[in-house]
Amino acid sequence: MSRTVIVVVDGFGIGAMPDAGVLRPGDLAADTCGHVLDRCREAFGRPLRLPVLGALGLGLVHPHPDLARRTRLPVAAGRAALGYPGADTFAGHQTMMGADFSRVTVARLAEHLDEVRRVLTDAGHQVELLDGKPLLVVDGTVLVHDNLEADPGINWNASGRLDAVGFDAVLSIARTVRTIAPVARVIAVGGHADGPLSAFVRPGDGGTVGLDTPATGFYRNGGLQVQHLGAELDHTRQLPELAARAGVPVTLVGKAADILVCETAVRRPAVDTAEVLAHTVEAARSAGDALVVANVQETDLAGHQQDAERHGRILEQVDAGLAALLSLLSEAGDRLIVTGDHGNDPTIGHAFHTREYVPVLIHRPEAAGAELLPDAASLADVGATAAAALGLDPAGLANGAEIRGAAPRAS
C-alpha cells in the first residue's frame, strides 16, 4: 500500500525568484509567506498558528522568526523554482504533473498579430483591428485580445457578448487562435455586458491591450460561460494518467479537478477550503494505493484581493487539515507533499501573481529524520517524487525531473 497526497496551496510563495523583477521591478521584494506572517502578527496580535506546516519543515526553507527552525518529523524540505514562464496556476499544475512547457512562451498578442489575423482569415472569418489598437474584432462581434487579469503575456482571450453571438461561435474562434498561440492558455469568454465591448478596452501592464472583463459586467450579470484552452500537452505522460494506467486510483480535488486531465479520476471540484480539505482527507482514507492531488484556491483569491489577513486565516485552516492528513498517512511508503504553484503576495501593491520560489515539504513516515533539500529547478520534481513513491517510473513523465527526498518503492 502506498498513498501519495499532494496539497497545492495556491499562490503560496516563499520569496522572489531572481528573475521576478523583469516584468515589475518591485516584485523582487515579493515574499507571500513572510509578508502574510508579518501582517497577521500585527493585525491579530499573535503569530499565525501553523504548527503542522512548521513540523513539515516550512521554517527550514523560510527564515521567518514565527516559523520553527527544527522539526522532529521525518520530512524532506526544500524549495522549488517554478520551471515554467511567468506565474500561472494552469502552467504550475501542468508542470508539476509532468507536462513539458519548454515550448510555451510569454507573449503579447501584438507580437503575433499578423499570424493570428491570418489563421482566422484562412478559417473564413472577417477580421479587423479595433481603432488601430493591437487587438482584433472577429466577424464584428468577438474580440481577440490580451488577458488583463493575469500577468502580461500569459493568456489571450476571445470574448463575446452572448446577446450578439452564441458561445459556440466564441469558442470556435478561440480554438482557431489556439492553433497558432504560443501562450499557456487561450480563454473563451461569453457573457452579458453593460454596453459594447469596445467601451471596455484599455491598456494593461507590459504593453498589453485588452478587455477589462470585470468592468464589462460579465461577472455580475449572470450567464457567464468560460472555457480554458491550454497549450497542447501530452497528458498521457503526466502523473495522473501514469498512475491510472498502473491501476492506482486517482482523485483530483478543488481547482485540480478543473485543470488536470485524467479520464478515470474521481473529481471533487470545490473552492471553499473546508470542503477541499474534507474531500482530500476522505480520499486519503483509501485502503490501498492512491494518488490524491488537491488545490487550496482561497489563498490565491486572498492574494488577488490583496487581503493578507484572509490569506493568513486560510493558512490556519490548511494547517488544521494537514494535521488530519498526517494522522492518516503514517505507513512506510505513504507521502504527504505540500507545495505551491507560484506566489501571490497580497502586500506587493498589485493583484497579480508573483514569481516566487515555492516550498516543497515531503512527509516520509519511514525516514529517520529531517533532511534539507537543495533548490529544485522546477516544480516537475514534485511529480517525479510522487511517481517514485507510488512505484512508478518517473521517466514516463514528459518533462524529465529529479526525485527529491523520496526513494522509489521496492517492488
**Average pLDDT over the chain, rounded to whole?**
93
Note the pLDDT tens digit of each residue in 242-292. 999 999 999 999 999 989 999 999 999 999 999 999 999 999 998 789 999
- Among 48-62, 231-245, 272-286, 318-332, name the one with the lowest average pLDDT: 231-245
Q: What is the spatial distance between Cα 396 and Cα 223, in angstroms, rounded to a whole number?
A: 41
Residue 68 CB-density burial (10 A; 0-12 exposed, 13-18 middle, 19+ buried): middle
Please choose, from the candidates 88, 83, 91, 80, the residue with its C-alpha nearest in 3D space to the C-alpha of residue 260: 91
Rounded average pLDDT over 234-245? 93
H or E stretch covering 77 = strand 75-80
Please enumerate, as own/partner, the contacts of 273-282 that have beta carbons within 8 Å and a separation of 24 or more: 273/297, 273/298, 273/314, 273/317, 273/318, 273/321, 274/317, 277/317, 277/318, 277/320, 277/321, 277/324, 279/251, 279/253, 279/254, 280/5, 280/7, 280/253, 280/321, 280/325, 281/321, 281/324, 281/325, 281/328
User: Residue 391 pLDDT > 80, yes or no?
Assistant: yes
Are 75 and 357 in contact by the 8 Å Cβ rule? The answer is: no
User: Residue 101 pLDDT > 90, yes or no?
Assistant: no
pTM score, whole prediction:
0.84
Note the pLDDT tens digit of each residue in 60-87. 999 999 998 889 899 999 999 999 888 9
CATH 3.40.720.10 occupies which residues in the chain? Answer: 3-102+233-396
Helices 308-328 and 32-44 sit at what angle, rounded to 10 degrees?
110
Radius of gyration of the chain (CA): 22
Strand pairing report for 250-254 and 290-296? parallel
Q: What is the spatial distance between Cα 171 and Cα 50, in angstroms, rounded to a whole number?
A: 44
Terminal-to-terminal C-alpha distance of the chain: 11
> What CATH architecture does domain 3-102+233-396 belong to?
3-Layer(aba) Sandwich (3.40)
